[in-house]
Structure 1
Amino acid sequence: MVTDKIKFGTDGWRAIIAQDFTVYNVARVAKGQADWLLKDHKNPTVVVGHDCRFAGELFAETAARVLCANGVKVLLSKGFISTPMISLGVLKLNAQQGVVITASHNPPSYNGYKLKGAHGGPSSPKDIAAVEALIPEEVTIPTESIEYYKEKGLLEYINLEDMYVDYIKTKFDFDALNKSPFKMAYDAMFGAGQNVIKRLLPNAVLFHCDNNPGFHGQAPEPLDKNLQEMAKAIASTPELKVGLATDGDADRIGLYDEDGKFVDAHNIILLLIHYLFKYKKMTGKVAIAFSVTDRVKKMCEHYNIPVEVTAIGFKYISEIMVNEDVLVGGEESGGIAVKGHIPERDGIYDGLVLYEFMTETGKTLKELCEEVYAIVGHFVYERNDLHVENSKKEAIIAKAQANGYAKFGKYTFNRIETIDGVKYHLDNGGWMMLRASGTEPVLRIYAEGNSKEETLDILEEVKKEIL
């Protein structure tokens, strides 16, 4: 049997179900993981779970059986779970690692395999590389059933959703939140966050909170274009004052204000820094991915908070959170972690922090955004994902890295940064960035301008120039 090399991208290994994401390949990854764990641990334990995607249970059980067959104890989640539930479970149950079968925000045809570390966040880049190096070309899939390993004491079922909900209840005053004057709408995007909000905020108005592994053919990514049903409902329903959305495995966040206007991750990061530092008097540095707005640096300067910029991939931010005192760590894609919680992206937790901010101050999300703009100025951000062949994608990035672009239409730039992708600081005060996706055949164009029209124009001019 000829097998391809399995590569972990920005966040885990992702592939198309039944094409490369097969039972056999999942078994190969699990075998590499088992070998890696057994090198350093006598009786390692792994927490395993899956989200709402097609065949999640089959793939999770495959990983569990391979791990058990190799002498690794497995704590297996019953029913679908979110990525933050696995990370919390690994930490609380003193496990050595976690596995989430998820392709996060990718289209429904994808599934994936994410590794979580003992610290309660993404496994470190070093550990991921070590597991990847041990993935065998061939593997023997055990014939024994899950029940067999349960009887042998190598497998135990656990309820991660209950554990997560009980933990969240200790972090917020739900009596106050459930009496909030700001009625919430929540869109689970058919993802793994769907039960949690039902349980914690029974008055919330719910969208797409049923189990649909095909996501109605829509990638479960919390972007404005994918959330129009909720946006329109908020705009036309006066009592709905805020909208929260989470992605397929509920680690990413999107928000809407009372007008049904999208509040993106850049604004959410700024709001969290503003609330935690100014209102809650919390301290710590800020860690942001390379694609996050420079307005974060402006706010950190205003509050005299140190800021660190990382390559793209939350594993880099999580590593800083484990080793240093971090107030907020976040990515442009909506993956954000805050102090007082696990070093992991968590869309529901972030949403509850900002719902608490609104409820305690009696201010709407729009009013709180204005507080932020008073410090950093108004800005508009947009991202364009171009589906291009890998060869074309690589040629464009190579040209950018070789300083092959002098300007983009009428937009000139004064400096370039290349931490991860290529970022152009424009003479109009905005910026633009080119980067190849680490998980899909996609070239991303990121842009920030002073108005929506200007930002869309930047994207258009860049597209014309590179294509």
Structure 2
Amino acid sequence: MNYKEVYNMWLESKLIDEQIKKELLELTDEKEIEDRFYKNLEFGTGGLRGKIAAGTNRINIYTVAKATQGLAKYLVASFENPSACIAYDSRNFSATFAETAAKVLAANGVKVYLYESLRPTPMLSFAVRHIGTSSGIVITASHNPKEYNGYKVYGSDGGQITDAAAAATLNYIDETDIFRDIKMIELDEAEAKGLLTYIGEEVDKAYYEKVAGLVIRKDLVKKHASELNIIYTPIHGSGNIPVRTMLKNLGYTNVHIVKQQELPDGNFPTAPYPNPENPQVFNIAVEMAKEIGPDLIFGTDPDCDRIGVIVKEESGDYKVLTGNQVGVLLTDYMLNARLGEGILTDKDTIIKTIVTTEMAQAVADSYGVQLMNVLTGFKYIGEKIEQFEQTGSNNFVLGFEESYGYLSGGFVRDKDAVIAAVLIAEMALYYKKQGKDLAKALQDLFEKHGYYKEDLISIEMQGKDGQEKITSMIADLRDNLPTEVGGVKVQLVEDYKLSQRYNKQENSIESIDLPKSNVIKFILEDNSWFVIRPSGTEPKIKIYASVVGKTSQDATDKVHTFVVAIKDLLHI
């Protein structure tokens, strides 16, 4: 069936709301109609993400209902007494989509625990484990622009569902007809039948107690937390209450909120791209800082799983630290704190993704602890935590990725900006008592381990043609592996789709023991590297680049030259 036939089915169906039909009839761009209906919105390992609009390739109550019907079938087939927690963030239609999912699950006999109001993604992960449900759903598009929303699915371990569970769920979704097969009951009926319970303060308190337990230098925080001057922005998202609650509980009473970004607002009026990686979201906070003179500035994204940190440089300018830099600071701080408290062991382990800075390896080595690499996606860090708990082989200290996600503790299995806020505040407080700030602490690490610098090339390729170009670009590179980049020889090629590591110098091949993924990493003789991969959540191809320099300027020059060479190689 072609896209136009599917489009007409939506217009003719009695199940489609008249307002939706009106939206579709007003479409005049044939390419837009094609893009909305040429395929179903893809259900990947993390669930759904797309623009909010009518169509099979968009997120709306119908595509959410279809996905949930498929998930319900999977849960009923896989669990004796299936159940699920549901949370949602501040995005437009998040509450509506959460209620739609609850109605479908309950109609299929799946017990639903629905948060009574918006909550961060990591609190959903916690609730799944705390309550003991079979699954979890959170409605969010993380840091995407206001036009987007999403639907993330979690397993019983509190982590995003594994590849096998995602594949099985997708089979059920594909079997589901959006017009004939979806069951649904109203929320009051579900509650009356004992199929719906609302989650509130009791679970929140349990989460807050666990987060408080992650403080390492407890005496330091207890005695001096009130001395730290903090500016915090929730960026119109779900972090406002939990982050401020945790800071207050721990004694951080000198906290200034960016009022213009305090309240939830799915239109993100002051931050069109509500991503803490984007310096513009901190413009108001920086203006406040000129008057307040804070020790620490940070902000969380709409679903409060990512956090960005601002530092004041010697020049007086304010700068957003990269996710890699914050991750390295936390790695060093937490290992140093554990050493100081006498609890550091050789079983302690840092976990990072393959696109995240190798500086973390240098820091881990300096403390004699282990570092493990996993594929991009925090669920893979969650899987390692589960393995550690099952086998007792390692002690999980910190997991992080370059895209501003951090986690400590085992009670949450996804990146958690509430936890990160608490750890970053403790770290900033410690350095303040040492007479320095985070900028100086980072500089000290560079001087000790080398000047690591990373860059990201992100190219948006919308629509059907864009997806085909992304696939073709990676396939062409795989078929024509370069022997050098910018005059520097390629030493290793790691192909995660083929699960093989090629040593170009020794002309040897070894296996990579990680799940398959359409990702290729090139490691050069001078320890620079780059990775190419399609985004799992956006219509983009991403190229990550990293170099090591002798000085800050040397690293800056090197990464600039390296990025130019990569672009030449890929003809972009």
What TM-score does the superposition give when structure 2 sets the normalisation length? Answer: 0.75
- Describe the superposition over 1:123-147 as per-residue Cα deviations: whole angstroms up to 9, x where unpaired: 2222222212211331444463211
Provide the rounded CA distance (Å) in 2 between the counterparts of 1:351 and 1:66.
35
Once residues 407 and 176 of structure 1 are traced to their aligned partners in structure 2, the CA distance between those partners, rounded to angstroms, is 54
In structure 2, relative to structure 1, the CA distance for the partners of 1:177 and 1:210 (3 Å cut) is farther
**Corresponding position of 1:262:** 320
* Inter-CA distance 274–66: structure 2 relative to 1 (3 Å threshold): same
Give the counterpart letter for 2:537 in structure 1: T
Check the 8 A contact 2:357/2:452 in 1, yes or no. Answer: no
Whether the 8 Å contact between 1:240 and 1:258 is mirrored in structure 2 is: no
> Which stretch of the first structure deviates more once superposed, 337-346 or 102-111?
337-346
| Alpha-carbon distance, 1:56 to partner | 0.7
Conserved 8 A contact 1:189-1:220: yes
Instruction: Quote the offset at 1:350 in angstroms.
Output: 1.4
Please tell me whether residue 7 in structure 1 is matched to residue 7 in structure 2.
no
Shift of 1:21: 0.7
Q: Could you tell which deviates more after superposition, 175-184 or 324-333?
A: 175-184
Q: 1:265 to 1:78 in 2, by over 3 A?
A: same
In the TM superposition, 1:26-425 aligns within 5 A as 26-135=64-173, 136-139=175-178, 140-142=181-183, 144-159=185-200, 161=204, 163-172=206-215, 176=222, 179-201=225-247, 203-207=254-258, 208-216=261-269, 218-229=272-283, 232-233=286-287, 236-237=290-291, 239-259=293-313, 260-280=318-338, 281-283=343-345, 284-324=348-388, 325=394, 326-339=396-409, 341-361=411-431, 362-363=433-434, 364-388=437-461, 389-409=466-486, 413-419=490-496, 421-425=519-523
Structure 2: gaps (5+ residues): 7-36, 248-252, 389-393, 497-516, 550-554
Shift of 1:230: 5.2
Spell out, residue by residue over 1:200-228, the C-alpha distance to the aligned partner (whole angstroms, 9 max, x if none).
33532223222210223623222143434
CA distance in 2, matches of 1:155, 1:162: 21
Distance 2:48 2:344 in 1: 36
Inter-CA distance 279–103: structure 2 relative to 1 (3 Å threshold): same
Q: Cα 1:74–1:143, aligned 2, differ >3 Å: closer, same or farther? A: closer
| 70-79 vs 445-454, greater mean Cα deviation | 445-454
The corresponding residue for 2:543 is 445
Deviation of 1:192 (Å): 1.4
The alpha carbon displacement at 1:376 in A equals 2.1
| Counterpart residue number, 2:502 | none
Aligned residue in 2 for 1:431: 529
TM, length-normalised to structure 1: 0.91
1:426 Cα shift?
Answer: 3.7
Deviations 1:238-266 (A, max 9, x none): 62121222222111222122332222222
2-side partners of 1:343 and 1:328: how far apart? Answer: 12
Quote how far apart the aligned CAs of 1:422 are.
Answer: 2.4
Counterpart-to-counterpart distance in 2, 1:126 and 1:334: 27
Q: Which runs of 5+ in 1 are unaligned?
A: none
Q: Is the 8 A contact 1:381 1:448 kept in 2?
A: yes
* 2:504 corresponds to: none
Letter in 1 for 2:373: V
Counterpart amino acid of residue 188 in structure 2: E
| Local SS of the residue matching 2:232 | strand
Q: For the residues of structure 1 that align with 2:384 and 2:306, how far apart are their CA atoms?
A: 19
SS of the equivalent of 1:276 reads helix
Tell whether the 8 Å contact from 1:231 to 1:256 is kept in structure 2 after alignment: no
In structure 2, give the amino acid aligned to 1:278: N
Shift of the 188–221 alpha-carbon distance from structure 1 to 2, 3 Å rule, reads same
CA shift, 1:119, in A, is 2.1
Tell me how far apart the structure 2 counterparts of residues 100 and 237 of structure 1 sit (CA, whole Å). 38
Change (3 A) 1:162 1:279: closer
How far apart are 1:229 and its partner, in Å?
Answer: 0.7
CA shift in 2, pair 1:7/1:224, >3 Å? closer
Residue identity opposite 2:381 in structure 1: I
C-alpha spacing 1:371/1:49, structure 2 compared with 1 (3 Å): same
Q: Say which one has the larger Rg.
A: 2
User: How far off its partner does 1:234 sit?
Assistant: 6.9
2:491 is paired with a residue whose SS is strand
Give the share of equivalent positions with the same residue, in percent.
27
Q: Contact 1:125 / 1:316 at 8 angstroms: preserved in 2?
A: no
Indicate the structure whose relative CO is greater, using CA pairs within 8 Å and at least 6 residues apart. 1
How big is each residue's C-alpha offset from its partner over 1:175-213, in whole Å with a ceiling of 9 and x where there is no partner? 738834331222222221122233333532223222210
Write the distance in 1 (CA, Å) between the matches of 2:227 and 2:351: 33
